[in-house]
Structures are given as structure tokens and as C-alpha cells.
A and B are shown apart, each in its own frame.
Chain A
Amino acid sequence: MSRNLARRDLLKLGGGALAASWVLAACGSSDSSGSTSSSSGGSSSGAVKDVTYWAAFATPEGQKYFQQNFVDAFNGSQKNVRVKMDVKQLMTLGQLTNTAVAAGKGADVVYADGPSAALSFAKNGKTVALDAYATKYQWKDRLLPWAYDVSEVDGKLHSVPVGYGSLVLYYNPETFAQHGWKVPTTLAEFEAVCADAKSKGLIPVGAGNSGYKAQTEWYLTCVLNAAVGPKALHEALTGKRKWDDKVFVDAITLVKSWIDKGWWGGSSDRYFTNTDTDMFTGLAGGKVAMYMTGTWSFDSADTFFTGGKKWDWAPLPSLNDAVPAGVYPLAIGTTLSINAKSENAEAAAEFIDYMIADPSRMLGMLAATGTNPAPLKVDANAYPAEVDERVARLYKAIPQTKNLGYASWSFVPPKTDTYLYTEFDKVITGDMSPADFCAGLQKAFAAELAEGSVPKPFTPES
């Protein structure tokens, strides 16, 4: 039976809806982002300043370690500041941050996946200059010079790098021994291993971008550094050499020829369905001969190598006889800035400083989880004995070598970087020639160079 609603009924309905919305709001307020809130607990009082921080981790162990030894430890050492860490998905943290910061929201401590992304925030006034804090906390004395310089925008420090690494050649020593291969250091040796691996049914060089398109820039960073060399790259990054110069076209042509031969990822179509996980699984199983990728995989590579199997790495081989072997492209994977809308900038700076103030804290995390450390000035003897020998070898080698290169997401401006990994797909499928690809690269870079959006690269020594 239907009847009209009386005023009383409406009030009841309205009251019920209001109560329901309060309940929902109360439930939601504990974690409005829908992500895992990892605050240290305790209720907030008027005197305590909350500093929000969005983070992402490659492994649960890394997250747990960071929570205990950085967030909880910092909160325990403070009376008036409390860091509230929200853990997001690693693949989407950058995009979430971009959207939030663009809208004038986001965390107090702003994550960026490299100086290039941090530069975008700085150029648009979304993050504050950190020079006063840099002076107060002596960050210039603590950070490696190249890392400090690349974090400056128009002469002012806008981000603090808290995770750095490089790109290397991963291999399975057992597979190499089985086939009688020697770790390649020259183009001829590299091509000889590739040809032999292909003839034996292996994928010579792991590659693929399924699930994460930007993986392509990892491979291109390796190729450009090893085939063009840091000197020519520096010239291009400073506008003294064009990206459509013959050396770049030749490098892209070279990698295209390897793709056509089935050396790179197995075949051109496989490239689009291979994942990073597939490649490490293949490496462990003896189906992939070599894999050029980042040292951020140091903390997860062991998960693929079980049953006593071991992975190892070597510096990138030279892919051009005119370029010295063993280049280490420097890559900053995580930078922290302070949101221009933050009401707790001082406290946010204090937390950032806490992360890099004591190198032993970073090295402890490196030892426990393999997480890439901040680019701090660290004595070779400071590495704890617990740090995996393969990991320590990298971080001891980088300060000693003069053959340092450039990772695209750290030194190439953002739009040019996106061009690199989105348009290269067309080179793989043959829809675009290497020359046209490089011409487009030059066009994108020239526009950003004119805008002043290119991070400042260090001068190569080699």
C-alpha cells in the first residue's frame, strides 16, 4: 500500500541519512586515500605537527624496514612533529602525486621519480626552494656533487635525492659457464654472445615493456650510454649537439637491427608482451642470456634465483669501439621536495634531513633490503659487512670510476623523456625510422631546452 510521506517521515529519513554519512565519514577519515596508512599511532594534539608523506616500495620487507627505521624512529625522536606515511602502488605513485600536486593538494613531502619530474613541480611553483634548509642541514656537504647539481632548478635546490643507482648487465654465471661465454666488454664480444645465444634458442638480451611502458627508457639509457658515450650525451643535454646527430641515429639503428634479429626480447612482437618479471625468470632459468636493467632490481633479483642459483652483474659493455667499456649511467629514482601548499615545511625539511643525515641509516637499509641508498658521500669502508657483496661492489665502484653516464629519467627533461619511451615502440614495429625518431627527439628536447626545463648534467670525466 502506498502512502504519501509525512514531514515526520522525511525528518526520519534525513536524520538517518545524516547519521549514515557521519558513520561513513568516520570510517573514511581513518584513511581517506584508501591506501595503507602507516602512521605511528597516537592521537594528534594541537602541539604536534603532522607531516604527510606518500611512499612506495618494491618489497614488503623494504616497506617494513623503512617504517621502523625511518618513520617510527623519526617520530620517536620528535616531540612536536609526526610523520604520517601513506603507502601507494609503486607504479602509480608518480601519477598520483602529479595529479594531487597539480590540484594544490598532495603530501607535505612530495615524491618524484627523478630530478626530471621534480623539475616540473619546481618550474610551476608547486614545490618550494630548499636552499635555506640545505644551508641549515649542510646538504651540499653530504650529497655527491653531481646529485646536488642535478637537483637544482634555476640555481636553487628544489629536491633532495634519496635513492640512486645505475644500470648494469645482469647475467646468470651458471648459464655463461654452461655455454662457455665470457662476460662481454666490447661490441664484438657482446654480439658474439648474442649470436651464440640466439642460435641455441635463448633470448640473447632481455627486453620488454608489457605492463610498464617506461621500461623502454631503461634499455635506451643503456644503449645510448654504451653506444654514444657520456661525452656526446652531455653535449646533447647541454644543447651543443643535436639529438638527430649521426651518432644517435646510428645507436638507434644498431638496436633496431638487434630487435630485427630477435636478439632484443626475442622478437619485435615479444617485446610488447615481455615483462620485467618474465626477463628475470628467464635469466634464472637459463632462457635469457643477459638483461640490461637498473640496480633497483638488486632487492628483488634473489626472489627469481632459488635453489642455490645466483645472479651477478657486470658494468655495461661498450657498444661502440669509440666509447670506453664499463659506463655507469647515474640514475636518481626518488627525490623528495616540499609541497608549496604545506603548512609544515620546516617539519617536512626536518624529516627529509633525517633520511640523509646519517649515512649508516641508509647503509643499514641497503644491507637489510638492498634498497638503493641516497647519493651520499660515503667512505668505501663504511659499508657494513652485511651488505651483499654484489651490491657493495656497485656502490664502491661508482665513486672510483670516471666513466659515468646519464639515465634519461634523471637528466632528460620530462616531455622528451616521455617521447623516448612512447615513440620508440614505432621504431620497433618499423612504423618510424631511426632518423625520424631522432628528429622527433631533437624537436621535443629543443622546446624544453628553450623553456629552461632541462636538469643540469654533470660534466663527464671520461
Chain B
Amino acid sequence: MSTTTAPPPARRRHAARGRLTAWLFIAPLLIVNVLVIAGPGLMSVYYSFTDWDGLDQADFIWFSNYAELFGDPDFRRALLHNLLWTAFFLIVPMSMGLLGAFLLSRIRRGQLAFRVLFFIPYVIATVVSATIWRQILSPTSGVGPALSDLGIPLLDDVNFLGDGDIALGAVAFINNWQWWGFLVVIFLAAMQGIEPSLYEAARMDGASTWREFWHITLPSIRPTFMFLSLMTVIWSFLVFDYVYILTQGGPAGSTDVLSTVMYRAAFEEQQAGYASAIGVILALISATTVCGYLYLRRRLRWDI
């Protein structure tokens, strides 16, 4: 018969010290998070129920900002752009990243050079790469006029960032240029953890490259794939830098996303309360995405 005995005092002290150590390590980050995330976050929720203009006293107006939001065509258009942006980044860079990583995983010589090459755009400051691309796509001094000088007037009448019909796609293309190389590196790291014997067995069974990818590679890296998909959704709703630097949401709102509408409301139109409401909506979208991910993992036991 076994008996349960209380741990001796020395062990309890040791365990308590371990917990204290852990708390001491986590405390600086916790304090920073409370100060720069939780505090301002709660303030934003409060201000979203007010008519605060950023300077004057804030008066409580309950849900008026939210009611106004959903009647605001600029907000609705920006939300649509965020959804299109999300779809684009879930499909194009993810596909390019997977393909690039899979092809790289199958070569031995020069792999490092390609990894570095693909990763370089990611380490370039956004403002630098955006400025370079703005020059490249400039209708007066960019690739269009350069081709024209060579007798190829293919892009003569194309203004990538000035034409409202194509500007959002142009900005997404530029952002993707920086982003997809990062995905290649992450997917490649995940692929390198796959047991080689799985591929050997598949080859012995006569599996094609495509079937290897579909039946071995993709299922094996599913947690990485799902995590990057989750982050892509969240980042797609938070996108700001490229849009702001390249077009500031123009022409006439054709590249506006929620964050640029929020920025304009807060800092140009003196509608800080309204901007806070947009911020709360953005936070809710991100929280919903994370909750959905956690639900799939924990409740439905999805292996992601």
C-alpha cells in the first residue's frame, strides 16, 4: 500500500524559488505589455464610445461611432480591401513560399545561396523597399519609360500606383516581393524536419514528385502551414506600412485599408473616438481569428 506524503519543506522552498525565478523573468515583459498594450488597448475601447477629437474633452456617445462605421462607405470599402488582401496573401505568397521551399529542399548545392537571396528582401527596411519600388513603377522615370526608350511601349499608359483599378494589386505585389522569401525560409526549415525515410519509401512505391509533396510534405508541415496562415490573416488586417508609404490609401481611397482609414480619422480628421472604434474592430477580427485557431486545436483536436 502506498501512502501520499507531503513534500518536505526544502522541496517546497525549492519549488517556490523556481516559481519566483520564473515570475522575475517574465515580469519585465509583463509590465511592458500592460503598459503599452493592455493600458492603451483598454483606453481605446473607452474612447471608441466617445466623441473624442484628440484634444477636447471626450463625451460618452455609446455606440454612435460603431453605428456610423457600418454606414461609412470608406470603412466598408477599406474592409473589403482587407478581405481581398487576406485572400491574396493566403493564396499567392503561401503558394510561392511552399513551391520555393519544396524545390529548394530537393537541391543540395547552392541551397544556402538561394535561401540568402530569397531572404534579403525581408531584411530591407519597408520604407527603403517601398521607395525603390515607387521609383521602379513611376510613370515618369520607372520601368515603363525605360522600356519605351528601348522601343517597347508596353507600359506606356500604365500608372501602377496612380490608377485606382490596379493600385491595390500593385501595392500587394510589392509587399509580396518582400514577404514570400520569408515564407520560403520558414517552410524550408519545417521541411528539413521531415523524416527522409518517408520520401524513400514513397519513391520505392513509385510516387511522383507531386504525390510526395501532397501526401508527405504538406501533411508533415501542417502545423507550420496553419500557423503562418493564421498570422497571414492577422497581419493582413493590420497592414499599414506599404499602403501608407506608397499611396496613403489613394487614389481616392482605392487602396485604403482599415488601418489607413483609422490613421486618417485619428490624425487628420480629428476623430480620435471614431478611429478608436476602427481599432477595436481590428482587434476583434484578430482575436476572432486566434480564437478560431485555438478552438480547432483544443476542442476539435485538429493536428495544426
Residues of chain B within 8 A (CB-CB) of A267 are 159
Q: Is B17 an interface residue (CB 8 A)?
A: yes
Q: Bound state CA distance, A269 and B55, in angstroms?
A: 36
Whether the pair B251, A272 counts as a contact (CB closer than 8 A) is yes
Write out, one digit per residue, whether chain A residues 239-275 have a CB within 8 A of any chain B CB (1) or not (0).
Answer: 0000000000000000000000000000101111110
Whether the pair A426, B56 counts as a contact (CB closer than 8 A) is no
Q: Is A402 an interface residue (CB 8 A)?
A: no
Query: Which of the segments A94-102, A190-198, A299-307 contacts the partner chain?
Result: A94-102
Whether the pair A273, B253 counts as a contact (CB closer than 8 A) is no
A273-B139, A428-B252, A429-B252 known; A120-B55 Cβ under 8 A:
yes
Name, among A123, A272, A418, A422, the residue most crowded by chain B CB atoms within 10 Å (CB to CB): A272
Whether the pair B159, A425 counts as a contact (CB closer than 8 A) is no
Within the complex, what minimum Cβ distance (angstroms) separates B196 from chain A?
31
Report, as a range, how many residues of chain A touch the other chain: 20 to 34
Q: Bound state CA distance, A429 and B164, in angstroms?
A: 8
Contacting A426 at CB < 8 Å: which of B54, B161, B167, B252?
B252
Residues of chain A within 8 A (CB-CB) of B269 are 415, 418, 422
Q: Is A161 an interface residue (CB 8 A)?
A: no
Chain A residue, CB-CB nearest to B269: A418
Chain B residue, CB-CB nearest to A419: B269
Q: Is A10 an interface residue (CB 8 A)?
A: yes
Residues of chain B within 8 A (CB-CB) of A337 are none
| SS of A interface (majority) | helix
Within the complex, what minimum Cβ distance (angstroms) separates B269 from chain A?
5
Whether the pair B250, A272 counts as a contact (CB closer than 8 A) is yes
Within the complex, what minimum Cβ distance (angstroms) separates A189 from chain B?
28
Whether the pair A121, B139 counts as a contact (CB closer than 8 A) is no
Whether the pair A422, B264 counts as a contact (CB closer than 8 A) is yes
A10-B24, A209-B250, A425-B253 known; A98-B54 Cβ under 8 A:
yes
Write out, one digit per residue, whether chain B residues 13-28 have a CB within 8 A of any chain A CB (1) or not (0).
Answer: 0100110010010000
Within the complex, what minimum Cβ distance (angstroms) separates B124 from chain A?
20
Q: Is A450 an interface residue (CB 8 A)?
A: no
Residues of chain A within 8 A (CB-CB) of B21 are 4-5, 10
Whether the pair B267, A269 counts as a contact (CB closer than 8 A) is no
Whether the pair A270, B159 counts as a contact (CB closer than 8 A) is yes
Write out, one digit per residue, whether chain B residues 85-124 have a CB within 8 A of any chain A CB (1) or not (0).
Answer: 0000000000000000000000000000000000000000
Within the complex, what minimum Cβ distance (angstroms) separates A434 from chain B?
14
Chain A residue, CB-CB nearest to B52: A102
Residues of chain B within 8 A (CB-CB) of A126 are 55
Whether the pair B162, A271 counts as a contact (CB closer than 8 A) is yes
Chain B positions near chain A (C-beta within 8 angstroms): 14, 17-18, 21, 24, 54-56, 138-140, 159, 161-164, 167, 247-248, 250-254, 264, 267-270
Given contacts A272-B167, A274-B140, 16 further A-B contacts (CB under 8 A): A4-B14, A5-B21, A98-B54, A98-B55, A99-B54, A99-B267, A101-B55, A120-B55, A213-B250, A267-B159, A270-B162, A414-B270, A415-B269, A425-B250, A425-B251, A429-B254
List, sorted by A's number, 17 A–B pairs whose CB atoms are closer than 8 Å.
Answer: A4-B18, A98-B54, A98-B267, A99-B54, A102-B54, A120-B55, A121-B55, A124-B55, A124-B56, A210-B162, A213-B248, A269-B159, A269-B164, A272-B159, A272-B161, A272-B251, A418-B269
Chain A positions near chain B (C-beta within 8 angstroms): 4-5, 10, 95, 98-99, 101-102, 120-121, 123-124, 126, 209-210, 213, 267, 269-274, 278, 414-415, 418, 422, 425-426, 428-429, 431
